[in-house]
Amino acid sequence: MTTCFDIGGSFIRHGELQADGTVAEKGRVATPGSDWQAFVDAIADCSGPDGSPISISLAGAFDTRSGIADVANIPCLHKRPVQSDLETALKRPVAITNDANAFALAEAVDGTGRGKPVVFGIILGSGVGGGLVVNGTLVTGYGGIAGEWGHGPIMDPTAGGQLKGIEHYPCGCGQTGCIDAICSARGMEKIHRSLHGLDLASKDITAAWHAGDAAATQTLDAFTTLLSRALSAFVNTLGPDVIPVSGGLSNDLVLLDVIDRKTRDLVLADYSEPLVIKGEFAANGGLHGAGIVARTLMKEAAR
């Protein structure tokens, strides 16, 4: 029996890999963010029989060469070789996949990208992330960074001349002007504060936008322009057949429609059908993707 996990800064979600390849959430516990032994105990308590494998979807970056994890929201895992340390502590095989990669894999294999050659799954929530799957295979790239379109100081604070200019917001990665810092839900809030001097949660900004509020409309116009301009460069680079979306902002289908239309207007290819759409596994892509990783490893072991 294989146990699958989707681990974030607040909760550890877990479930068992079923014979049909699906993973249903069995339960969740709070993530022990600062205590390594408490974290190990939490994983052990949710896992199957001694020695049975586990597959983990985890929010963070993983250097495929060194095995060192960069997990800022779970301090006890940060700068630690998490996979090898867990295997030693739990005495069982452990597979770890970045959560955005797990979502992209879920969509490419069983979701909106099923049967499509290139799937670029993106996360639009408190942060911006992504994963790339080509012909059903996850592309990790040098150091495991493939698909991480949220980072790199490339943003134009004028939104192509639409704005007089907003500051280059600092990003959690240590740089300034990253897509993650301006095109996430937190970025939307920063834009609104810069333009109108108002501190509102992203859900309140989008609600006001839907209601026709002028200030929120200006904020969303700027936000969707900034996001689509950045995303268009990755579309032209990767040539995706579909861009499934997960994260909190994916629940606003009207917002996704605006992002989709603006993005398709900027790219070289003629996408006659929607490109940026809500993923089928937007709610549980981490668990499902962890299950796909486990299925793949089981097939390889059986050869």
Domain topology for 3-101+283-302? Nucleotidyltransferase; domain 5 (3.30.420)
Domain 3-101+283-302 and domain 115-278, same fold? Reply is yes
- pLDDT for the residue numbered 53: 96
Choose among 84, 76, 131: nearest CA to 289.
131
Please tell me the predicted confidence (pLDDT) of residue 261: 98
Residue ranges per structural domain of the chain = 3-101+283-302, 115-278
DSSP of 79-139, one letter per residue?
A: TS-HHHHHHHHHTS-EEEEEHHHHHHHHHHHHSTTTT-SEEEEEEESSSEEEEEEETTEEE
Q: What is the mean pLDDT of the chain?
A: 94
What separation in angstroms does the CA of 244 have from each of 126, 172, 283?
Answer: 17, 24, 12
pLDDT of 3-58, one tens digit each? 999 999 899 999 999 988 899 899 999 999 999 999 999 999 999 999 999 999 99
Rounded to 5 degrees, what angle do the CA atoms 38, 39, 45 make?
85
CATH code reported for the domain at 115-278: 3.30.420.40
Asked whether residue 303 carries a pLDDT value surpassing 70, the answer given is no
Determine the Cα–Cα distance for residues 255 and 41; give it in Å rounded to an integer: 41
Q: What is the pLDDT of residues 240-268, one digit of tens each?
A: 999 999 999 999 999 999 999 999 999 99
Whether the per-residue pLDDT at 122 is higher than 70: the answer is: yes
153-194 residue pLDDT tens: 888 888 888 888 788 899 888 889 999 999 999 999 999 999
Q: What is the pTM of this model?
A: 0.94
Q: Decide if 284 contacts 102 (C-beta within 8 A).
A: no
